[in-house]
Structure 1
């Protein structure tokens, strides 16, 4: 599998697979976001998810894939730090704001800075048509956030803090997208990077969640929480793994933009499963997001 993936890097087949992986990552990331925002405290959910995928990754990292090259340990340390800050900010944002307000702001801030980061780190450039697509996509994402902010019944007292944290989280999304792409390109076997990433990345949040759980007066039952964590522990590696592979196979910037169609999937999930309203205006805004992603892909 690794040899085949490496052989199609930069080819037409690699571009097609990268497109499919980025869209799969978008859908799964929206599902993952809804899981973290669901019935349990987002800190506890994230801890349960990270524990689950670290446990799944451990035997693969230790016994099934080649060990990382010596220079990769510094990269893994940086990746761990970026992702840990990202997850803390995300949990803080979800603790203070509605999913359909916070999520679009996070995802709208990320791709713009990811495109800039891809230019600075990899020398990637977008043409005028692709920048138009980015503008269309971002107008849909931020329009969706503004609409939700105005019309939905949300907690207004904590909203400024939630939106500030959402923007900061979006900046961390851009940081981890570009640096993860750098990391997965720096190792010979992409699955070595993925396995060790999920093992190392899953070490911090379970500790934070355990401390938070012990300090709660009304502690939730661990059974349903760990079940949610187990589900998320399968979805998260598929989502993050898919986007990382897409950035190795093709353009980092294009993959980052395509993943932000997750805002469309998130709105649909909010409507279908979280009881949140979706009307014609929000549908039109979601259409803008999809149209922007199509323009970026076709324009490239």
Structure 2
């Protein structure tokens, strides 16, 4: 499999595969965000997911994939630090704000700075038409956040802090997307990076949430475990898809396409959470999709 993927890098088939992987990551990331935000404490939801994917990844990292090259340990440490910051910011965001408001802000901030970062790190440059597509996509994402903010009635006093943390989380999204794209390109076998990343990354949140676990009613353990197990498999395919997309093709384009997750998040809010969509939100979601299409076809 690794040899097949290596053969696709930089080819038209690789570009097509990266497009598919980025869109799959968008759908899965919206599901992942809903799983963490759900009815449970977002700190414990994330801890349950991390513990599950860390335990599942351990045997693959230790016994299946090729052992990491010596230079990869420093890269793994950097990735771990960045993702710790991201998780803390994300948990504080979801702890304070409505999912349909803060999620678009997080996802709108991420691609803008990822595109800029990819220019510095990988020498990627968007055409003027692609930048127009980014502007269209961001207008839809932030427009959706503003519209949702105006219509919510719960926890409005917490929203300024929630929005601040959402922007911070978006900056971490840009940072980890760019850094992890560098990391997965730095090893010969991409599955080595993925397996060891999940193994290492699964430690932090279960440890720092120990007191919250001790205070959790016993009846909530099984539902949280089920959520964690489901979230683990969603994370494998979501993060794995976007990382493979950044290895096969341009980092910036993959990051922008992934942010169509905002559309899927709104659909989840409508279909699962019973939230109303209406013509204005439909138009804003169409604007997000249009921006992604422009970026793809103007490339």
Q: Shorter chain as normaliser: what TM range?
A: over 0.9
1:27 equivalent in alignment to 2:20:
no
Within-5 A mapping of 1:53-72 = 53-72=53-72
Q: Which residue of 2 aligns with 1:181?
A: 181
- The separation in 2 between residues aligned to 1:39 and 1:230, in whole angstroms, is 16
1:289 equivalent in alignment to 2:288:
yes
- The separation in 2 between residues aligned to 1:171 and 1:91, in whole angstroms, is 14
For structure 2, the residue ranges without an aligned partner over 5 or more in a row are: none
Within-5 A mapping of 1:35-54 = 35-54=35-54
Q: Which residue of 2 aligns with 1:156?
A: 156
- The separation in 2 between residues aligned to 1:208 and 1:246, in whole angstroms, is 32
Q: Which residue of 2 aligns with 1:249?
A: 248
1:131 equivalent in alignment to 2:137:
no
Q: How many residues align?
A: 299
- The separation in 2 between residues aligned to 1:64 and 1:169, in whole angstroms, is 33
Q: Which moved more, 1:203-212 or 1:251-260?
A: 203-212
Within-5 A mapping of 1:83-122 = 83-122=83-122
Task: Indicate the RMSD between aligned Cα atoms, in angstroms.
Answer: 0.9
- Normalising to structure 1: TM-score of the pair? 0.98
Per-residue CA deviation, residues 243-298 of structure 1 (Å, 9 max, x unaligned), is 00000000000000000000000000011112222111000000000000000000
- The separation in 2 between residues aligned to 1:127 and 1:221, in whole angstroms, is 51
For structure 1, the residue ranges without an aligned partner over 5 or more in a row are: none
- The separation in 1 between residues aligned to 2:281 and 2:18, in whole angstroms, is 28
Shift of 1:223: 0.7
Shift of 1:215: 4.3
- The separation in 1 between residues aligned to 2:36 and 2:238, in whole angstroms, is 14
- Normalising to structure 2: TM-score of the pair? 0.98
Q: Which runs of 4 or more aligned residues in structure 1 lie more than 3 Å from their structure 2 counterparts after TM superposition?
A: none
Shift of 1:219: 6.1
Q: Which moved more, 1:277-286 or 1:145-154?
A: 145-154
